[in-house]
Amino acid sequence: MSAFTKKIRALIVDDEELARHVIRELLQCHPEIEILAECANGFEAAKAFAEHQPSLIFLDVQMPKLTGFDVLELIGTDVSVIFITAYDQYAMRAFEVHAVDYLLKPIGRERFEAALERAKRRMGEKMPPAHELAAAARPPQQFLERLVVKDGTRVTLIPVGKLDYAEAQDDYVALASQGKKHLKQQTIAGLEAGLNPDSFVRIHRSYIVNLERVVRIEPYGKDSRLAILTDGARLPVSRAGYARLKALLDERK
Amino acid sequence: MDALSSRRNRLRLYKIAWLPVCALLIYLVVSTGGMGWLETAVLMVPLAGLGEFISLSAWYSCKFRPIQRSTILNLIGTHLGAALLLSLLWVGMGKLLAHFLSILPWFQGLDARFTPKVGLVYGAGCILYLLSVAFHYVALAQDASREAEAHALKSSLLARDAELKALKAQVNPHFLFNSLNSISALTSIDPAKAREMCILLAEFLRMTLGLGEKSNILLAEEMALLDRFLAIEKVRFGARLKLEEDIQEQSKPMLVLPLLLQPLVENAVIHGIANLPAGGSIRLVAHCHDGRLSIIVENTFDPESRPARRDGLGLANVRRRLEGRYGEEATMQVSAEGDCFRVHLSLPAESGASLN
């Protein structure tokens, strides 16, 4: 290795001190890798990422509040991630499907070296979108419990029960919750796939509504309608959207 | 034998029983004189068929007046009234039939010959109807006991099923792999601690296997298992996991179902502590009072994260095991106030001190 080769800047993210220690120890014989920071949770990870702009992250999947997938969603895909999990058959399958590097606890030297080699080779490639990975890692019949949004440097968690509606805006969705709107980089179809279809309905090409919030439906124009929400918001309802809404409401009766 | 086919068999029995009844009726009418065998048979066979049909209606009056929940007066009133009325209807039909038969050349004067028998047939009708009432009460009681039997069988099956599921789910692979990872980290930092943790893990596994086979264990034994479990988790979570125990000495020799508390404590770790970046505490309380054993498992949790479905399953399992073992005698209360999640079990205090 020449002196001009830039060091690989890395982050270690795991909520368990001992687990972080194992990674640090395994990296001891890799002088080309510089550990910039160790993070004990997702919030610290997002902050450290913004601060250091690392190119490699060792990322635990199961962490409090923010999971590894949430972290990936916050930091974007321009980074190599090696996921770490103790036992999660769905996450493991998702990693296989998306050809993402991952390590199983307890972490063995051989596996670690192989993953590191592969990560080095693929450095500079983009990671698959976080929400796709997360969706693939969710057990069947389970839906999102909360949404993670980054407003500037602030991370906001919105429990899905508090989501009033979502509106498509180009490459983003605007999430309306408790009188505020949060922008999140995701397609509305991607969001729809993660929400429980018993509670959320796609009422329009650009709108998903929380069924609990709908007060009434009013006719509007020739072929369309308006959904009036508890907070007074008025959302357009397409003909197909009305059919879906009605089917769901009838089911609930 | 399933309920439907048993009902079908019963109906067949009922119908067959009417054959001797019909013969008896004919004999009664003929033996009292004035009518011939043939004409009596021609008249009584269809009449008996009709009677069989009418008496089936006793099923409704029996349903309407369940024998355990009705007064004698009500029972007598209902059934006697129905017997008098329906028998009148029946004899009326008999009279009508006799009238029409009289038109035929072979049975001329049958109507007149039948008239003196009306009282006799009426009385027989009343008695037959009341017999049918008795038959239906027996049938209903049989149904009820069969139903109770099926219900008991089903709930005992459910309890055993829950038991098996609970035991199978005991050693959470996540727990095992994380513990092994902690041990692997400790081997270089603190080998003595690594060895200690290996032993804790081995003891925990051994206890899980051993206790799971018993039907009752002492609370002290369950606590020993929980201590191992929590000691391991304490290594993993470090300062994030705080423990409080308040186990009253006299509650320790009480009997509990094996591994009843373990899933509750495991939930407290997985859904409580593990979800809190700054950690939290788990509190275990066991008290004996007035013949009841009261056990509380309490933990800090993040009120913003919805309890996952696995959590609910674990709790449902504990509830089912309690129901299977103690029936109405045990209660389980689950509550979440602020950031405190609490499961409170109350069971009959049964001392197992004499077992050891």
Residues B284-304 have pLDDT tens digits of: 999 999 999 999 999 999 887
pLDDT score, position B356: 46
Q: Which of B110, B128, B163 is the last residue of a domain?
A: B163
Residue B55 and residue B132 in contact, taking contact as beta carbons nearer than 8 Å: yes
Select from A100, A12, A84, A101 the least CA-distant residue to A48: A12
CA distances from A216 to A199, A221, A246, B74 (A): 16, 16, 11, 54
**Residue that is last in its domain, among B128, B163, B198:** B163
- Are B177 and B137 found together in one domain? no
Work out how many domains chain B is built from and give that number: 2
| Contacts (Cβ under 8 Å, ≥6 apart) of A161 | A210, A212, B306
Do B302 and B178 fall into the same domain? yes
Question: Given CB atoms, is B276 within the 8 Å cutoff of chain A?
Answer: yes
pLDDT digits (tens, 9 = 90+) for A92-121: 888 988 889 999 999 999 999 999 999 999
Is the CB of B284 inside 8 Å of chain A's CB atoms? no
Tokens of B334: 């689950």
Judgement on whether residues B203 and B158 belong to the same structural domain of the protein: no
Amino acid at A121: R
Cβ atoms B133, B58 nearer than 8 A: yes
Find the CB nearest A105 among B177, B186, B189. B177
Please state whether beta strands B331-337 and B340-348 pair in parallel, antiparallel, or not at all (unpaired). antiparallel
In this complex, is the C-beta atom of B177 within 8 Å of any C-beta atom belonging to chain A? yes
Query: Does the pLDDT at position B235 exceed 70?
Result: yes
Adjacent-strand bridge partners of B346: B294, B331
pLDDT (mean) for A144-163: 88
The pLDDT of residue B231 is above 90? yes
**Residue A18 with chain B: CB contacts under 8 Å:** 181-182, 185-186, 189, 235-236
Instruction: For residues A161 and A132, give the distance between their C-alpha atoms in angstroms, rounded to a whole number.
Output: 22
Last residue of a domain, one of B102, B136, B163: B163
| Contact state of A18 with B237 under an 8 Å Cβ cutoff | no
**Are B82 and B179 members of one domain?**
no
Q: Is the predicted pLDDT of residue A149 greater than 70, yes or no?
A: yes
**B13 plus B50 within the same structural domain:** yes
State pTM to two decimals: 0.68
pLDDT at B1: 45
- Same structural domain, B51 and B184: no
Strand partners, B112: none
For chain A, say whether B239 makes contact (Cβ under 8 Å).
Answer: no
Which chain A residue shows the shortest CA-CA distance from B307? A145
CA B352 to chain centre: 28
Q: Quick one: B97 and B173 in the same domain?
A: no
Q: Could you tell me the two tokens for B269?
A: 């770790």
Among the partner-chain residues B173, B176, B181, the one whose CB lies closest to the CB of A22 is: B181
User: What Rg do the C-alpha atoms of chain A give, in angstroms?
Assistant: 21
Complex prediction ipTM: 0.81
Does position B355 have pLDDT exceeding 70, yes or no? no
> Residue B7 is encoded by which pair of tokens?
């009902």
pLDDT digits (tens, 9 = 90+) for B72-115: 888 888 889 989 999 999 999 988 888 888 888 888 888 888 88
Backbone angles phi, psi at B227, to 5 degrees: -60, -45
* Chain A 181-220, residues with CB within 8 Å of chain B CB atoms: none
Same domain, B14 and B110: yes
B135 and B43 share one domain? yes
Distance CA B242, CA B284 (A): 11
Tell me which DSSP letter residue B217 carries.
E
> Strands across the sheet with A214-220, in order?
A214-220, A224-229, A234-237
- Measure in Å the smallest separation between the Cα of B355 and chain A Cα atoms: 40
User: Are A87 and B173 within 8 A, CB to CB?
Assistant: yes
- Closest CB to B180 among A16, A88, A106: A106
Superfamily of domain A146-252: LytTr DNA-binding domain (2.40.50.1020)
Rounded to an integer, what distance in angstroms lies between the CA atom of residue A131 and that of residue A171?
14
Q: In Å, what is the CA distance from B146 to each residue of A104, B11, B64, B109, B135?
A: 54, 17, 20, 53, 17
Interatomic CA distance for residues B81 and B226, integer angstroms: 68
Domain holding B298, by residue range, is 169-355
Return the SS3 of B33: coil
Alpha-carbon distance of A146 to A195, in angstroms, equals: 9
Asked whether residue B180 falls in the same domain as residue B120, the answer is: no
Give the pLDDT score at A109: 94
Instruction: Name the fold adopted by A8-137.
Output: Rossmann fold (3.40.50)
Residues B198 and B269 in one domain: yes
| Residue with token string 């470090």 | B238
| Same domain as B200, residue B159 | no
Q: Which of B188, B302, B305 sits opposite A25 (nearest CB)?
A: B188
